[in-house]
Amino acid sequence: MIGNGSVVKEILKRFTKVYPGAKVGLDFVSPFELLVATILSAQCTDERVNIVTNKLFLKYRKPQDYLNVSQEELEEDIRTTGFFRNKARNIRGCCAELIERFNGQVPSSVEELTSLPGVGRKTANCVLSTCFNIAAITVDTHVIRVSNRLGLVQTEDAEKIEYALMDLVDKNSWNDLNHLFITHGRRTCIAKKPKCEECVVNDLCPSSLV
Ligand code: SF4
């Protein structure tokens, strides 16, 4: 790791200015909806997930609703998000556990969340930080890419990146970091061709192309 706390502080300060109001790209109105949307977002864009959940959340309002239909019917309803068989299995498994172990409610600890089928640290941290306002760093593909390009980490391992960023960044900025790095990765530090010439941290970035 070659970054340091003050550099990250400056990076976050600049990102806050250029990406005001950065927030989760998924549409939801409850922790349960965000949990389902996040499971659907694996290997899929937020835009596509939002198109699907726009209808899905009208039909399925609580965990039991996902168990009242067949696996095949749910697969059909989420087909366009890709990997629909696995996702349908995970969502139904998750709903069964929520009912059996958590009285139908989404739990609010990383241990409980990651004990649910199809819920990894990324999903758990996203739900914790967004719905429960608990400080957590969500490491998705954008955070992995941006953190590496900025020289803050030198690994593709999401869990190692999560802990490295937790060390580097003040706890009260963890939730902001999620939204800012993800927005920066989507709009500017794009996977195929980063727009370094218009990047506000290009003077601090070891990977800058300008
Ligand atoms: S300078 Fe380029 S590589 Fe570095 S963070 Fe900005 S867009 Fe990404």
Atom of ligand 1 at shortest distance to CA of 209?
2
d(CA 60, CA 71): 13
Q: pTM of whole model > 0.95?
A: no
Residue 146 pLDDT > 60: yes
Percent of the chain scored above 90 by pLDDT? 93
| Residue 107, CA distances (Å) to 95, 99, 113 in order | 12, 11, 6
66 shares its domain with 95: yes
Q: Which of 108, 131, 154 is the endpoint of a domain? A: 131
35 and 125 fall within a common domain = yes
Say what the pLDDT of residue 128 is.
Answer: 96
Question: How far, in Å, is the centroid of ligand 1 from the Cα of 181?
Answer: 11
**Secondary structure class of 152 (helix, strand, coil):** coil
Q: For residue 203, tell me if it sits in a domain.
A: no
Rounded distance from Cα 133 to ligand 1 centre (Å): 29
Query: Band of the pLDDT at 22, cuts 50, 70, 90?
Result: confident
Question: Active-site positions?
Answer: 122, 140
Is 162's pLDDT higher than 50? yes
| 18 three-state secondary structure | helix
Structural domain includes residue 186: yes
166-175 confidence digits (pLDDT tens): 999 999 999 9
Distance separating alpha carbons of residues 32 and 62, to the nearest angstrom: 8
Structural domain tally of the chain? 2
**What is the per-residue pLDDT across 60-107, written as a single tens digit (0 to 9) for each?**
999 999 999 999 999 999 999 999 999 999 999 999 999 999 999 999
Judge if the beta carbon of residue 108 lies within 6 A of ligand 1: no
Q: Please tell me the predicted confidence (pLDDT) of residue 4.
A: 66
Q: What CATH number should be reported for the domain holding residue 50?
A: 1.10.340.30
Rounded mean pLDDT, 31-42: 96
Q: Do 58 and 126 belong to one domain?
A: yes
Query: Could you list the residue range(s) of the whole structural domain that residue 183 is in?
Result: 5-23+136-198
Residue 180: give its domain's CATH number.
1.10.1670.10
- pLDDT tens column, 104-138: 999 999 999 999 998 999 999 999 999 999 999 99
